[in-house]
Amino acid sequence: MILASGSPRRLELLRQMGFSPVVRPANIDETPRPGESPTDLVLRLARQKARACEKGLPEKLLGQVVIAADTTVWIDGLELGKPHDDEDARAMLTRLSGRTHHVSTGVCMLAPAGEASFVETSSVTFFELSPDQIDAYVQSGEPRDKAGSYGIQGRGRLLVSGIEGDYFNIVGLPVARLARELDALVGEDAGGEASVVCGALRGEPCLGR
């Protein structure tokens, strides 16, 4: 398996499933297109990352499954990317305070059998945050490289009053659905012994016989 992402969180989630991915990040232009919805954006970027990664593979890696993903935080139809600076982070956290927002991850998989992609969306509700709480979190430095200016797997968990949907999708990779989509892509019975789901549950995932 090849992971077309430099995200340490995605790498760790795949390792927890039992995979040992080769990491080959794909550098593409991630600028949203005019009028593009957050879900359309992450799906397009995941597909472009997967194809760019596959195109640049050395011969010894050809034929392996390529997985690419892109995650965004959005509210009121507005995508919240990584903050430009601490003031931008404060503004994002103020917007999210006491409200429910959405986290969408686009995933694309390329295999010898073909290509498949999907979008998973989870909802996150924040507590009402005081200015002091926002300042304290911004001062921690954690928001600086996080979409939406928070990381649910870190100190940002203290901001969250509830979630709906897949927690790991919020972290950056919806692994349960990914395993099932891989089964469909490589042609395995999701309930069979050789399936990705069964293999991952044993700690010995397999991408086809």
- Please give the structure tokens belonging to residue 134: 């926002």
* 135 a catalytic residue: no
Q: Are 91 and 130 in contact (CB under 8 A)?
A: no
* Catalytic residue chosen out of the listed positions 29, 70, 86, 189: 70
Q: How far apart are CA 162 and CA 176, in angstroms?
A: 20
**CA–CA gap between residue 169 and residue 184 (Å, rounded):** 20
Instruction: Quote the CA–CA distance of 209 and 83 in Å, as a whole number.
Output: 44
Amino acid at 76: D
Residue 117 three-state SS: strand
Please check whether residue 194 is in contact with residue 188, taking contact to mean a CB–CB distance below 8 angstroms: yes
Catalytic residues: 70
